[in-house]
Structure 1
Amino acid sequence: MTFLWALVAGLVIGLLAKLVLPGRQPVPLWLTVLVGVVGAVVGNALASAIGVRHTDGIDWVRHLLQVGVAAALIALTSSAYAGRRG
């Protein structure tokens, strides 16, 4: 069940990352989910490193870090994927 939640979180984070980037990113859904999962893991690690992983209420800073990392990864993979596709 944890794997399923990781995929759902990766989908949401990946789609939010694509939403904050300007223009259209020619990245398929499977790659968006994969980048979202990686963004979530790296964002959690960064939040732990700076001490904001667990706060009172909603962890906005952690979620912003997750989406920010995923957006950076989408930007990198988007240009690489577009170049590969021709």
Structure 2
Amino acid sequence: MTQEELSKYIERDRLEYIGRQRQLFEKAKPMLLENYLNEYVAFENGQVLDHDLDEQQLAERVYAKYGYRDLLMKQITLEERVYYVGGFRAVQN
């Protein structure tokens, strides 16, 4: 396997992982809203790994415990955040 093929495989694997985590996050959203409203959560495989009101403190703790890797970290809010960048609308779910 060439370096380019390996890079494509790893990228595809990461995208699949992130997509799976987002699906599990959406499924768990009612519970997350009930228990963690306005907090940041580190979420993986349907479980909250840790949570905090401060995103930076959460990230430092989670990466210290689990290592620096792909994890879903997100603030739990009632409404989606909408950003306008260069005239384009971007929604953060």
Q: Which TM-score tier does this pair reach, normalised by the shorter chain?
A: 0.3 to 0.5
Instruction: State the structure with bigger RCO (CA 8 A, min sep 6), 1 or 2.
Output: 1
Structure index of larger Rg: 2
TM-score by length of 2: 0.33
Q: Which has the higher strand share?
A: 2
Q: Which has the higher helix share?
A: 1
